[in-house]
Structure 1
Amino acid sequence: MIRKKIYIVLLMSFALLSSCEDDLELTNPTELSPETFFENEAQLRSSVNAVYANLQTIGTYSRNLFYMFDNMAHENLGNPQLEADKRIFLNFSFDASSSLITNYWDSFYRGINKANFVIGNQEKISEIPTSVVSQEMKDKYVGEAKFLRALYYFHLVTRFGDVPLITEIPEDGDGFPRAPAEDVYAQIIQDLEDASTVLLPKATEQAGRATRGAAYALLGKVHLYRENYEEALNAFENIYGLYSLEDDYFDNFKEETEHGPESIFEVSFDDDMGNSEFWWSSVTGAGPNEVSLRGQDYGMFDWFNVYPSDDLRNEFEDGDPRYEKSFYEVGDEYAGGLIEEISLDRPAGWRKYQNYYKEPNEDLTSGINMRIIRYADVLLMMAEAANQLGDQNAAIGYINEVRDRVDMPLLETGMAKEEVFEAIVHERKVELAGEQVRFPDLVRWGRAAEFLAPFGFQEGIHEVFPIPETEISSNNNIGPEDQNPGY
């Protein structure tokens, strides 16, 4: 099995900030200081590996993030045992005291601080002799840190709006004020443009690391969210045709087919590599934390805290094979045999990211990677950009590439702009179901209130999260008056 999460060899206790404004602290078995750390490739690589670790915390993709986004989108409904801290995202009753929102904020800012440590030491890195580390590799590692910093800031700015913009290691504990979202987006774009020039292509990079294609894909997504449609298409064009769709749609969600031709960037998990720190590094990413609880949490024969909503399942067209590859129903086959009933007499359970294709029950932890950027998503984003730029036939062509993979009837040319847009809205909902994109889509399209008001969503409030109360109480430059409206 490919070694996925890259162990932090010398930074195993890379302990940083209790909140985003704290100083970077670096301890390791050899007691190397930041001033003497970057001397060889192993040290450089381990410092970058530490940045990746914050994709694997409970605060992000190991647990909380998929609950938050799938519940807010009402792709999930909650079973009676669903914990209160996750149920509040179904009815939009969360506030600044939410531990999930706090962990989301802290996890990503800790990752940013780790990235800043690498990026801020470029001069030291450049001094490593090229006989020890080639210039290409030195640039590549810094590019990975910039990609991850951009990804973390994208997660923050899209969910909180104005956020502290920190690009260097803090010198004191006073904290940083909220920066305008436009400034944060400008930094994200600059980081991704820089990364796209130095990252390696997927074919030559170790599986699980950021690649040139991932940088261009995220750059295009950022421009799309900013409604800069021409810039979005330009970014996507750099990878169009370099990836391909999986022949079998379900291969996007299995362990054995990770890093396939459709995958652009994945959060890596491997339950053979250890999880002794899973419950103790919910935001730090320190120590063995190589697993996800997605299978157990969503599993219809296990914890089964949530199940796919009727609204989501009803969106699928008759005969769309993505339905049976996304959900289980009574009468379906799984590794335990024929499904005669689903727990709590529910009409369906999740199939995506579940181990039931090979195991009759979920273990506590899962090693299935989360695919957070895949080629089908890029094709549909290209369709959206082309449609907004007035090229409806090009947009239809991109949509049809996605539909053709699953043998669904192709759309005919000649559709009006609004018709094409509605086709994109539908296609994204079914193609990317349970992949944490529906809620951000509804927000950026201005449609969140239309679909989610019956569940408690309030326009002008719930497009963003509240700034965590822990940040307000500990950051000298953010006060109650800086809280997002409505919270």
Structure 2
Amino acid sequence: MKKYILIIIAFLGVFTINSCSEDDLELSNPNQLSPDTFFSTESQVESSVNAAYANLQPFGLYGRVMFYMMDNMAHENSGNGQQEGDKVTFADFSFDSSLPSIKDYWDGCYRGINKANFVISNAEKINELPEGTLTAAKKAKYIGEARFLRAHYYWLLVNRYGGVPIYLGDGTDNTEGQPRSTKAAVIELIIDDLKYAATNLYDKGAETPGRATKGAAQAFLGKVYLYQKSYGLALAEFNKLSGYALETNYYDNFMEETEHGVESIFEVEYDIALGTEQFWWSPVNGTGPINATKRGQDYGVLDWFNVYPSDDLVAEFETGDKRFAGSFYVAGDTYNNGDNTFVELDFAENGGNIRPAAWKKYQNYYKQPSENGESGINVKVLRYSDVLLMMAECENEVGSQASAIGYINKVRTRAGLADLDVSLSKDAVFKAIVHERKVELAGEQVRFDDMLRWGIAATELAGTNFQVGKNELWPIPDAEISSNININSEDQNPGF
């Protein structure tokens, strides 16, 4: 009986990817599913894969927690006087194992992993389908999507918690929980999954927008190698990418009308048109599917908001950098198609601090007079400019500084800035990469991990409560320690 229940649960999270037909994605009657009869049609296979995508969307991940916790820890944000308590804990590093956001993130990832595993563990059944029902290429593609998503969820986990329990089955054999695996074991699984995905996924032009592609798998694999300081392997993966380029207009990366552009490698789908009834009450403790993010509310301008860009981040931009206007609003900027003008951005609050700017990325002010918190703009998880700067980093470590500078200059040219001198030293190139990643990817949840892997977090976060040896990781949630008999308080991360 338990197997039937788990299969039904797996499909409670089925969520329509924007460009797919609803007829193709809906199940006629989930209560009639069984392990013996499921995976008999392409629609069933695709629906099961869609269920694994759905867990990227909730508030516990990209719908809310992901952006404010990462940007707050990186101190790309400053909080206003009414900032909600859980947001403050990430800014001042006072979070602990009881925090709901810590648990929602953990649960969201493992729900996604369980749904991906449901597909992967039934790969043999999928591969037995007749060619007339599903071609060999499509079979491998769907399994590749599931493995890409599993890798992504484990990547989110390993970067926040370190070594975590590894689950590979369909969920029916893990009633007591698994012990923590080593970080190396988790990374090995991620690399394995991404290699399979890179071999079997379709190219971007041949795939429905919103689904994982060969280029996405290659780019993520390169990123994983880069984080392990395997620069040569990373560069080899990045060099396989084709069909990507920089958007002419930087801000086109962050508007709803220009989603899935030439620069986009992977993005998480949102669409208010599909309904907002689950927006204010995301089911399953912040881990249920939603159609909109709270980015608009948390990063608002004139309406209620939690955070605004920090002085340090705003000051990092060079004079004339076009990315500034694509990232921030300042007093005097127009919005709502130019019908209105911001006049109240430089106001005093928080004991006299002046707000120098407000976030523009992923905000809806460009087309409406207010931000009500419901944003249907897709979240860009990986862009080609990010890849170019990672390629520059690899070249600077194991290749040539001239090649590294060439990649940096491609990004700077789009920003309207002068090229860097090709004679710069390795150290100077590294400093340029640090700067470019900070401004190019501002508010895109990469800065904190960049600082950690470069070993500069203690210096960059001096004056905050960041503790070396503790705050590089999050604590394992209390609920996991109390419910998993193979994990106890001795397995908790240092300092928690």
TM-score interval, smaller chain: over 0.9
Q: Please name the residue that 1:60 is paired with.
A: 61
What amino acid is aligned across from residue 159 of structure 2 in structure 1?
A: T
Structure 2 residue 317 is the aligned partner of structure 1 residue 308: no
What amino acid is aligned across from residue 220 of structure 1 in structure 2?
A: G
Residue 334 (structure 1) shift: 1.0
What amino acid is aligned across from residue 4 of structure 1 in structure 2?
A: N
Structure 2 residue 404 is the aligned partner of structure 1 residue 391: no
Structure 2 residue 247 is the aligned partner of structure 1 residue 246: yes
Measured against aligned partners, the alpha-carbon deviations of 1:223-281 in whole angstroms (never above 9, x if no partner) come to: 00000000000010000x52000000000000000000000000111000013234233
Q: Please name the residue that 1:474 is paired with.
A: 483
Where structure 2 has 5 or more consecutive residues not aligned to the other structure, the ranges are 1-15, 349-354
Residue 11 (structure 1) shift: 8.8
CA distance in 2, matches of 1:310, 1:77: 8
* 2:266 partner SS: strand
TM-score, normalising length: structure 2: 0.92
CA distance in 2, matches of 1:326, 1:342: 15
Give yes or no for contact 1:110–1:283 (8 Å, CA) kept in 2.
no
What amino acid is aligned across from residue 156 of structure 1 in structure 2?
A: L
CA distance in 1, matches of 2:246, 2:403: 18
Q: Please name the residue that 2:8 is paired with.
A: none
CA distance in 2, matches of 1:6, 1:466: 38
Residue 186 (structure 1) shift: 0.5
Q: Please name the residue that 1:4 is paired with.
A: 18
Give yes or no for contact 1:177–1:478 (8 Å, CA) kept in 2.
yes
CA distance in 2, matches of 1:94, 1:183: 27
What amino acid is aligned across from residue 187 of structure 1 in structure 2?
A: L
Residue 282 (structure 1) shift: 5.2
Structure 1 153/8 Cα, relative in aligned 2: closer, same or farther at 3 Å?
farther
Structure 1 111/82 Cα, relative in aligned 2: closer, same or farther at 3 Å?
same
CA distance in 1, matches of 2:346, 2:23: 43
TM-score, normalising length: structure 1: 0.93
Q: Please name the residue that 2:96 is paired with.
A: 95
Report the count of equivalent residues.
471
Q: Please name the residue that 2:340 is paired with.
A: 337
CA distance in 1, matches of 2:61, 2:174: 27
CA distance in 2, matches of 1:258, 1:314: 29
5 Å matches for 1:59-458?
59-170=60-171, 171-239=173-241, 241-278=242-279, 279-281=281-283, 286=288, 289-335=290-336, 336-342=339-345, 344-345=347-348, 346-458=355-467
* 1:36 partner SS: coil
Residue 98 (structure 1) shift: 1.1
CA distance in 2, matches of 1:212, 1:373: 13
Q: Please name the residue that 1:23 is paired with.
A: none
Structure 1 352/309 Cα, relative in aligned 2: closer, same or farther at 3 Å?
same
Where structure 1 has 5 or more consecutive residues not aligned to the other structure, the ranges are 14-26
Measured against aligned partners, the alpha-carbon deviations of 1:168-188 in whole angstroms (never above 9, x if no partner) come to: 124142100000110110000
Give yes or no for contact 1:11–1:50 (8 Å, CA) kept in 2.
no
Identity of aligned residues (%): 55
Measured against aligned partners, the alpha-carbon deviations of 1:428-473 in whole angstroms (never above 9, x if no partner) come to: 0000000000001001111111111311000010001001111000
CA distance in 1, matches of 2:159, 2:21: 30
CA distance in 2, matches of 1:76, 1:390: 35
Measured against aligned partners, the alpha-carbon deviations of 1:110-137 in whole angstroms (never above 9, x if no partner) come to: 1001000000000111121110111111
CA distance in 2, matches of 1:5, 1:182: 37
What amino acid is aligned across from residue 441 of structure 1 in structure 2?
A: D
CA RMSD of aligned residues (A): 1.9
Residue 314 (structure 1) shift: 0.4
Q: Please name the residue that 1:20 is paired with.
A: none
CA distance in 2, matches of 1:169, 1:81: 43
CA distance in 2, matches of 1:277, 1:196: 34
Residue 7 (structure 1) shift: 8.6
